[in-house]
Amino acid sequence: MTMIDDINVLYSILFFLWLQYLWELYLEIRQYRVCQHTKDVPQELRGVMNKDIFDKARSYSIDKSSFGFVKSAVSIITSTFIIYTGLLAKVWNYSQSNSPWEGEVATSCIWLFILTTLSSVLDLPFSIYYTFVLEEKYGFNKQTATFFTLDKIKAYILSQSLTLPICSIIILIVKYGGEYFFVWLWITVGVILMVLLTIYPSYIAPLFDKYTPLPEGELRTNIEKLASELKFPLDQLYVVEGSKRSAHSNAYFYGLFAKRIVLFDTLLAKPESGGCENDEVLAVLSHELGHWKHSHITKRLIIMQTNLLLVFLVFAFMFRYPPIYQAVGFPTKLQPVLVGLLVVMQYIMVPYNELLSFLLTCLSRYFEFQADKFATKLKKAEPLQRALIQLNKDNLGFPVYDSLYSAWHHSHPPLLQRLDALKTKQD
C-alpha cells in the first residue's frame, strides 16, 4: 500500500461526509423556505386550527431549522477536523500510554471513553440551548436545571456501562473468532440487542421517567376491552409522567412478548389546555395496535438484523485494509478493531446508510398508513382525525412541508396526507 492509497481513502471519506451534509442542507433550506413563505392556514385545517396556533407553529419550525443549520455546520466541521488532523490516532496513543493494563481491549475502552465523553461535552451546549431557550420559548420545556443535569448524568453513566463491555466483547470476537467471526459477531450483538429490548421496560425506562398504572375508570376499561377484542397480549397499562420533562404528548406500546401500553400524562390532559378526549385516545391506541396486528415491530427487527449481518460482512471484508486506518492517522501495521469498525460503519458506509435510511423511511410511512387503515376498520377514523389535529396543535407541528424534504425525512406521513387518507378510507 502507498501513501496515495491513504490519501484516496481520506478524501473519499471527507467527500462522502460533505456530500451527505450538503444534501441534508439543501433539503433543510427547501423546508425553511416553505415555512417562511406559507403564511395562511391550509384550506383543509381552517375551522380546526386558528391563525395564532398556525403562526406559532410556523415560528417554532423556523427556529428549529435555524438551530439545525448551526448544529449540523458545527458537526461537519468537527468531523472534518477529527479526520483531517488524525485526532482518533492521537487519542489512541494517549490511551495506550496511560492505560494501566496491557492489550487492545483496555486501550480501546479508554479510547472510546475519551471520545464519547468529548462528544457529550461538545453536544451539551446545543442540548442546553434547545431545552432551555428554544423549547422554553414555546412553552414545551418543563425541566428544571437539576432535573436536566441528573438526566444527563444518568444517561451518560448508563451509556458507558453498556457500551464499554459490549465493545470489549466485539473486540474479542473479531480477534479470536476466526475466518467467520462476522457470523459470531452478528449472533452475539443480535442476542444483546434482544436482551436490551426485553429489559428496557422494567429496568431502563424507569430510571428516567415515572411510570404509574392507569387509574381505574372508563378509559382503562375501554382500552382493556379493545385489547381483549383484538387478542392483544396486554400486560400492563401505564401513564408516564412526561410532563416533568416536556409538554409534548404521545402514546406507544412496547415489549417483545407481553406488551405494555404507555400513555403520556400530557395526552390525557383536558383538550382545552392540551390533550385528547377518551375516544381520541382510543383511536390513537387503535393505530398503535394496527402496528402490532401487521407485525410491524417484527418486520423492523428482521430488517435490522439483516442489515447488521450485511454491515459486519462489509467490515470483515475491509477491516484488514491498512489505508482505512492510515487515512485517519494511524501508523502502518496498527489496526485496532474498534477504529476499523468506526471508520467502516460511520464513514465508509455513508452512501449505503443514507440510502437505507431513505428506504426505511418509505417503509415506515407505508406502515403508518397501514396502521391508520386498521384504525379505520375499527370505526375510529373520525376520532383519529380529531386526535391527529389535536396532537399536531399540542406539539406545534407545522402542517405544510416541502415534498422532497418530507419524502426524505418523515417516517410518519405529514398531517394533511394522513387526514386525506383517513377521509378517503372512511368514505
Segment 250-276 shows an average pLDDT of 70
Banded pLDDT at 1 (limits 50, 70, 90): very low
Catalytic: which of 288, 354, 402, 420?
288
Catalytic: which of 104, 135, 280, 372?
372
Distances from the Cα of 417 to the Cαs of 251, 313, 330, 361, 365, in angstroms?
Answer: 20, 39, 50, 15, 11
The verdict on whether 420 is a catalytic residue reads: no
pLDDT at 97 > cutoff 90:
yes
Lowest mean pLDDT across 169-183, 248-262, 273-287? 248-262
Where are any strands of DSSP class E within 123-233?
211-213
Segment 86-91 shows an average pLDDT of 94
pLDDT at 133 > cutoff 70:
yes
Banded pLDDT at 5 (limits 50, 70, 90): low
Look at residue 412 and give its three-state secondary structure.
Answer: coil
Segment 208-225 shows an average pLDDT of 86
Lowest mean pLDDT across 169-178, 258-267, 375-384? 258-267
Banded pLDDT at 257 (limits 50, 70, 90): low
Best mean pLDDT range from 3-7, 245-249, 292-296: 292-296
Q: Which amino acid is at 186?
A: W
Neighbours of 80 (CB within 10 A): 15
412 labelled as ligand-binding? no
pLDDT value at position 307? 94
Burial class from Cβ neighbours inside 10 Å (0-12, 13-18, 19+) for residue 376 reads: buried
Q: Which three cell numbers stand for residue 99?
A: 492505560
Segment 37-56 shows an average pLDDT of 91
pTM strictly above 0.85:
yes
Higher-confidence position of 174 and 6: 174
Burial class from Cβ neighbours inside 10 Å (0-12, 13-18, 19+) for residue 15 reads: exposed
The verdict on whether 6 is a catalytic residue reads: no
Segment 367-392 shows an average pLDDT of 92
Question: Could you report the per-residue pLDDT of 343-359, keeping only the tens digit for each?
Answer: 998 888 999 999 999 99
| Distance in angstroms between the alpha carbons of the first and the last residue of the chain | 66
- pLDDT averaged over every residue in the chain: 89
287 labelled as ligand-binding? yes
| Dist. CA 89–CA 394, nearest whole Å | 47
Segment 109-129 shows an average pLDDT of 96
| Dist. CA 67–CA 296, nearest whole Å | 33
Q: Which three cell numbers stand for residue 228?
A: 381483549
**Do 142 and 243 form a contact (C-beta atoms < 8 A)?**
yes
Question: Could you report the per-residue pLDDT of 171-194, keeping only the tens digit for each?
Answer: 999 999 888 999 999 999 999 998
